[in-house]
Amino acid sequence: MKPGSPPGSGLKAFLLLPFFLAGIAILGFAALLAVFASLDAPSEGIPPEGTLFTVSAGESGARIAARLEESRLIRSALSFQALLRIRNLQTSLKTGTYRIEPGMRGRDVLELLASGRQALVRVTVPEGTTMRRTADILADAGVTDRGDFLAAARDPVLLASLGIQAETAEGYLFPDTYFLPLRTPGAEVVTLMVRAFRARLAEGVPESLGMDGRELHKRVILASIVEREYRVPEEAPRIAGVFWNRLRIGMALQSCATVVYVITEIQGKKHPEVLYNRDIEIQHSFNTYIHPGLPPAPISNPGMTALQAVFRPEPSKYLYFRLLDARTGRHYFSETLDEHIRAGALAVKGIGGK
């Protein structure tokens, strides 16, 4: 005992120590209960329609927790971080965009971000859609940035890795209904769509397997034209047959769809209701009225009907076809130019193509 200390003070301190420690333990337990209570209560800041939250690559758990609290998507960043440490998930939150729904508790949000179950949107790319229009559709749905997608679709390194022997992915972006995460890098979406093309082509046209890349590209180009010319599916193989017949004898394809492509995709003008002589005389390598053979690249992204038609064309002697009725989409097929001209009297005005 130090000189001057009251008698028995050391003993009193010793006797009070257990109560002091018990008080600290009780306070700690109460604090822990408060932490977990905040994790079990939904935040009042989540809007009724839900909201999106993005976890960026390399973002720390502390930063994610702070942003969640700032956005009023969880009640307490401290509680969220505590659960992260307890569950050893500090570095396990997955990059991506997630939908936070009303009623989700803090622990529900953590489970969602750790699961990688990103918000998906349903997006449909119709058959015959061009690469630029595909970029618009995806961007409008929030799937990817338009510029990023187009840059990826023109990236020579990415194209080579996907086995595309062309300057762009036009023709290989398979038209279909996809369920895609929001805010996905353009290269990932291009890769997904090209792989879908490969898989569907192998399934629907097994004779394409092992085909030389340049020969496949020619067929994709022709399929992209057939896609824009046919309206009635059963006519697609017949239209493909007409084009094959023309190619065999060195006759120009004279496809209206290629002229429309020049006008809309290259010149950036509105889709014409009618093609005039000045249109089919446009000096451009994609104009198959004035340039024999195939155009330099696909003019759209063909679906399975057009692809199968090009690989399995209907045998015939037809060299011409004319839209008979724009309402039904049916064509009149002819073997001679005279017959084709006479068929013009039966035709109802309208440009072939979709």
Residues 182 and 231 in one domain: no
Q: Name the region of 271 (left: φ>0; alpha: ψ -120 to 50; beta: rest).
A: beta
Residue 71 structure tokens: 């956005």
Residues 244 and 222 in one domain: yes
Residues 186 and 268 in one domain: no
Kindly state whether residue 233 falls inside one of the protein's structural domains: yes
Q: Give the CATH number, domain containing residue 67.
A: 3.30.1490.480
Kindly state whether residue 40 falls inside one of the protein's structural domains: no
Q: Residue 145: give the domain boundaries.
A: 120-204
Last residue of a domain, one of 115, 143, 171: 115
Q: Are 316 and 241 in contact (CB under 8 A)?
A: yes
How crowded is the C-beta side of 265, counted as CA atoms within 13 Å? 22
Number of domains composing the chain: 3
Per-residue pLDDT of the chain (354 residues; tens, 9 = 90+): 555 555 555 555 555 555 555 456 455 544 555 555 667 778 888 999 999 999 988 899 999 999 999 999 999 999 999 999 988 988 889 998 999 999 999 999 999 999 989 988 999 999 999 999 999 999 999 999 999 999 999 999 999 999 999 999 999 999 999 999 998 999 999 999 999 999 999 999 999 998 999 999 999 999 999 999 999 999 999 999 999 999 999 999 999 999 999 999 999 999 888 888 899 999 999 999 999 999 999 999 999 999 999 999 999 999 999 988 888 889 999 999 999 988 877 665 544 443
Last residue of a domain, one of 115, 141, 161: 115
Supply the pTM of this predicted model.
Answer: 0.78
Task: Give all strands (DSSP E) within the chain, no chain letters.
Answer: 51-55, 96-100, 120-124, 177-181, 320-325, 330-334
Residues 348 and 218 in one domain: yes
Last residue of a domain, one of 97, 115, 133: 115
Q: Are 107 and 277 in contact (CB under 8 A)?
A: no
Residues 127 and 108 in one domain: no
Residues 179 and 305 in one domain: no
Q: Give the CATH number, domain containing residue 162.
A: 3.30.1490
Residue 28 to residue 151: CA distance in whole angstroms: 55
Residue 270 to residue 187: CA distance in whole angstroms: 29
Residues 81 and 199 in one domain: no
How many CB atoms within 10 Å of residue 34?
A: 12
Kindly state whether residue 6 falls inside one of the protein's structural domains: no
Residues 347 and 223 in one domain: yes
Q: Determine phi and psi for 333, rounding to 5 degrees.
A: -105, 140
Kindly state whether residue 9 falls inside one of the protein's structural domains: no
Write down the pLDDT at residue 164. 95
Residues 190 and 281 in one domain: no
- Which parts of 61-128 fold into alpha helices (H)? 61-70, 77-86, 106-115
Residues 349 and 220 in one domain: yes
Kindly state whether residue 2 falls inside one of the protein's structural domains: no
Kindly state whether residue 79 falls inside one of the protein's structural domains: yes
Residues 100 and 231 in one domain: no
Write down the pLDDT at residue 92. 84
Kindly state whether residue 313 falls inside one of the protein's structural domains: yes
Write down the pLDDT at residue 282. 93
Write down the pLDDT at residue 91. 83
Residue for token digits 């965009």?
Answer: 97
Q: Give the sign of the dihedral formed by CA 44, CA 35, CA 65, CA 57.
A: negative
Kindly state whether residue 36 falls inside one of the protein's structural domains: no
Residues 135 and 247 in one domain: no
Write down the pLDDT at residue 2. 54
Q: Are 214 and 223 in contact (CB under 8 A)?
A: no
